[in-house]
Amino acid sequence: MNMQKATEFMTRREALRRGLLGTAGLALLDPLRLQAAPAPSRPRAKSVIQIWMWGGPSHIDIFDPKPDAGYDYCGPLNKPIATNVDGIRIGELLPLLAKQADKYSIIRSMTHGNNSHETASYIVQTGREPGRLVYPCVGAVVSLFKGYDQGYKGLVPPYIVLTQPQGRFSEAGFLGPRYKPFATGGDPNQNPFAVEGIVARGITDQRQRSRRELLGKLDSLGDSMPGNPHFEKFRQCEESAYDLMFGDARKLFDLSQEKDELRDQYGRNTFGQSCLMARRLVENGVPYVTINYKGWDTHKQHFETMRRKLPEMDAGMAMLLQDLADRGLLDSTIVWWSGEFGRGPKVQWNPPWNGGRSHYGKCFSAVVAGGGFKGGQVVGSSDAKGLEVADRPVHPTDLIGSMYSLLGIDPDGPMPNPRGMDLKVMPQDDESAGRLKEIT
Amino acid sequence: MARKNVLHFAIIILILVLFLPLYARQRTGRPGATLRNRRNSAQANRSNTSNLRQQPNSTDSRFGPFETDDKYTPNNRIDTLVMATFREEGIEPARLCSDAVFIRRAYLDVIGTLPQPQEVREFLKDSSPRKRVALIHKLLRRDEFADYWSLKWCDLLRVKAEFPINLWPNAVQAYHRWIHDCLRGNMPYDLFARELLTSSGSNFRVPQVNFYRAIQGREPSAIAGAVALTFMGVRLENWPAERCSGMEAFFSRVAYKTTSEWKEEIVYLDPASTGALQAVFPDGVAVQIPAGQDPRMVFADWLIAPENPWFARNIVNRIWSWLTGRGIIHEPDDIRPDNPAVHPRLLAYLEKELVKADYDLRRIYTLILNSRTYQQSSIPRSDHPEAEALFAYYPVRRLDAEVLIDALCWISGTRESYSSAIPEPFTFIPEENRTIELADGSITSQFLEMFGRPARDTGLESERNNQPSDAQRLHLLNSSHVQAKIERSARLNAAIRAAKNNRGTLVNLIYLNILSRYPTQAESAAARAYFQTKGINIRQAVNDLAWVLINTKEFLYRH
């Protein structure tokens, strides 16, 4: 990448942003920006990569094996493997992650008790119970405190989702659309990675430019009211969009710039290449990346799905940790692996499930690595069959509050909101054992 | 002899002067060959050809395609009242909008739908001075009126299957259908409100009880907050606590119970609490509700009484804001003493008219749509800082997310597929349904999210966000989604076939389809010049032109 050019480009973008902030259309949100004070403490983490296990991954087949619980619980997956940390064992389908265990910590006592996807997704990603207000999720909060309002000048938006948004869940909550993620669409395992809106297939730059020229000639309504503030904002968005289309953002999304061997190690599949893409994004300063990894809602054919998907997850996530560490990025990048809940430890062998697992919010696992989180640790534990939290319950509130602290966002500080209410960023949960001091 | 020659000469000159411009105009708009309508009907063929030849004068008038030279003459009482303020403030209002602008605006504002080219041609050709009145009358009775305004009402009433409202799919369908039926049947608004507030029964069989379910929280304070917001345009959190609690009492006996049917719920009055109840109306008057009387009925009767200061005001102000982009009291759902109306007499007039018309909302739509104020051009003639807030021009507003995707689908002849994967069983929306007909606000759609569809969490008008964003511009300028729609457009193919190599006709057809008007001569020339671009074939050039027009402010905004 031509750095000098990139700098000029960013400066121009910044200028555009600043222009954008001043326009009347955003007046409603202005109080948010004023309230959002600069981060108080010196942050240890700069970025978060959230691996979102959409559907709820089974805890006892992955990071919390219970080989002694018997066939009704383990099914065929009853031979956990040792890791490179003494005393920590994980599921047998994760040989590569077993070699990286010194880099991450496993929380085996996650709990919120909710078994419905949408509500549990909300709880795990906002740290809040459902109520009158819809709170923003972690990505939107990070985008508020570390995004454009705080001088973020990256090539691409500060909150990126690879590749599809989660849906049924308003990421930005009451913060509003400005803090929503940019979902890339496309498939990073295809060449090119057709990032929706940024990398168009079949339209050359030349043709895109001649279209733009014609658009300039046929903008009769715009020409008839020069200086219209609504149109001025529209024009600025259009400039930014063209900057993204013709600028260096495309190079950022161009995975062919990576070595083939490395791409193979990540796994030539959508998840593996998403992990690689996530590394490229945080390397370029993007503060929040969500990999929305679907397919974990295994009511049926659970074990078949585990055998198919876990090796894919194992390769992508293990390589991501290794690669981040190799590049010195792991110290400043939090990797957060979690779904909305775990899965019922007791296998449902009866029809119609025929070997499936149900939703389970009472006890499940999450994994954190990097950005100030210690590696090689286990936090809390579940009972002998993975049914209940046995020790040190961790509510999503505790985990999220810990991440905010590492990011330099004061979890006890004020949470800006359009109605001017007295809210805190991520207050402590009364019933759990508090933030994760043992691994930060 | 000499005088006779001079007279002949003068007559010839006169004839030339009178008819040359007409001849010239005919030539510019004249299709070289017969034009085939999309439906290939021979009759439509003939009418298309003649229509295209007779382009209306306004297209190339000296006022451009968007406005006419009409001075401000009031159409009805609304205008007289608004004009008085303009005079006091020294504001020059905008010109009357052109017919082409009017038909597009009226379709989008009243039925959330683009006019078909044939409808545009007929309207432009119509020389009746009452054609706008007739169009408004017709639009208010179209099926899409109920479709589009159901969407609006479902925003306000938070019609959504999932978190955080959790109506669940069956109830969403029943509730949406009930709202749609009310709008199609033009149920008087006081009755509509009373039904929502006082019904009891199963959420499947008495759909209006879902009003009490579509609220985040079921405690009396949450219900009172939703009632005040919806029917009074008032935010209860701004009220003193004792006034809130006085109003909450009316809803303190609403109870809920489930049945053995999945997600069926009965809303009823708690039989355990039957004693007399002390409550206070929002105007401060206390009331003792005798035992055995439904307190909700007492509240509803107070609310819909003609002299109620909030009820009519809230809805006429909302309709004004829905049609003109801004409330006479703004925000329309933040009515409070320190947020005054910009045209108090206009607001009072509309309130009276609604009561007089027995709460027939179409009466208010008709009055507003027929006003000269509504029919102003969007091009300001005054730089007064309050010109927009005082309605001295029609403010430009980006199309609603649902209307925009429907318009893109219509232009391209494509469809969107919507489904809901959770909760089971999966819901698949028939593809022939338009997006404005979607009942459930929790159907996932990246496009609708990106373009600011409201979350339907709170019922606040501000949940809908029609501000432009970088992501929206990227999507329309460069996404495979929009690209595929244009490339697959059967409508554009039909236009190419119909134009039979006549580039002028082709440009006219594309303009009529996308911008609902004829191009000006300059626009037509620019488009035809683009068709000569080296290295692209005619279909690619047409795609490019369609792409360009879809990306104009004129297409993306109501104007």
Residue B150, Cβ density class (10 Å: 0-12 exposed, 13-18 middle, ≥19 buried)? buried
Contact B544 A207 (CB under 8 A): yes
Burial track B294-331 (b if 16+ CB lie within 10 A, e otherwise)? bbbebbbebbbeeebebbbbbbbbbbbbbbbbbbbbbb
A145: Cα within 13 Å, side-chain hemisphere? 28
User: What residues of chain A lie within 8 A of the CB of B262, using their CB?
Assistant: none
Residue B38 pLDDT level (bands cut at 50, 70, 90): very low
Express each pLDDT in B397-425 by its tens digit: 999 999 999 999 999 999 999 988 766 66
Q: Average pLDDT of B169-179?
A: 96
Q: How far is A222 from chain B (nearest CA, A)?
A: 6
Residue B5 pLDDT level (bands cut at 50, 70, 90): low
Q: Which two tokens stand for residue B309?
A: 């200061």
Predicted pLDDT at A32: 53
Predicted pLDDT at B224: 97
CATH topology of domain A36-199+253-439: Alkaline Phosphatase, subunit A (3.40.720)
Residue B163 pLDDT level (bands cut at 50, 70, 90): confident
Predicted pLDDT at B66: 96
Backbone angles phi and psi of B15, in degrees to 5: -60, -45
Express each pLDDT in A280-298 by its tens digit: 999 999 999 999 999 999 9
Residue A219 has pLDDT above 60, yes or no: yes
Q: Which two tokens stand for residue A17?
A: 């942003």
State the complex-level ipTM: 0.86
| Tokens 């030339």 sit on residue | B16
Taken in order B152, B155, B156, B158, is the CA torsion positive or negative? positive
Express each pLDDT in B108-155 by its tens digit: 999 999 999 999 999 999 999 999 999 999 999 999 999 999 999 999
Residue B57 has pLDDT above 70, yes or no: no
Residue B47 has pLDDT above 50, yes or no: no
Secondary structure, 3-state, B226-295: HHHHHHHCCCHHHCCHHHHHHHHHHHCCEEEEECCCCCCEEEEECCCCCCCEEEECCCCCEEEECCCCCH
Residue B507 has pLDDT above 60, yes or no: yes
Residue B486 or residue B28, greater confidence = B486
Residue A269 has pLDDT above 70, yes or no: yes
In the chain, the amino acid numbered B402 is E
Predicted pLDDT at B61: 63
The beta-carbon neighbor of A167 closest among B444, B530, B536 is B444
A71 touches chain B (CB under 8 A): no
A223 touches chain B (CB under 8 A): no
Residue A10 has pLDDT above 80, yes or no: no
Express each pLDDT in B366-375 by its tens digit: 999 999 999 9
A190 touches chain B (CB under 8 A): no
Q: Average pLDDT of B442-462?
A: 91
Predicted pLDDT at B12: 57
Residue A35 has pLDDT above 80, yes or no: no
Express each pLDDT in B279-323 by its tens digit: 999 999 999 999 989 999 999 999 999 999 999 999 999 999 999
The beta-carbon neighbor of B468 closest among A182, A218, A237 is A237
Q: Average pLDDT of B381-407?
A: 96
Residue B474 has pLDDT above 60, yes or no: yes
Contact B217 A169 (CB under 8 A): no
Chain B interface mutation, best of A26, A54, A168, A223, highest count of B Cβ atoms under 10 Å: A168
Predicted pLDDT at A118: 86
Contact criterion met (CB below 8 Å) for B85 and B72: no
Please tell me what DSSP assigns to residue A90: E
Which residues 366-425 on chain B approach chain A with CB closer than 8 angstroms?
A: 378-380, 395-398, 422-423
d(CA B422, CA A168): 9
User: What residues of chain A lie within 8 A of the CB of B167, using their CB?
Assistant: none
Which residues 477-516 on chain B approach chain A with CB closer than 8 angstroms?
A: 477-481, 483
Predicted pLDDT at B85: 93
Express each pLDDT in A375-395 by its tens digit: 999 999 999 999 999 999 999
**Summary mean pLDDT of chain A:** 89
Contact criterion met (CB below 8 Å) for A289 and A281: yes
Backbone region of residue B112 per phi and psi (left: phi > 0; alpha: psi in -120 to 50; beta: other values): left
Q: Average pLDDT of B142-170?
A: 94
Q: Average pLDDT of B44-68?
A: 56
Contact B478 A245 (CB under 8 A): yes
Q: Average pLDDT of B517-530?
A: 96
**Summary mean pLDDT of chain B:** 89
Express each pLDDT in B10-31 by its tens digit: 555 555 555 544 444 443 333 3
A194 touches chain B (CB under 8 A): yes
A116 touches chain B (CB under 8 A): yes
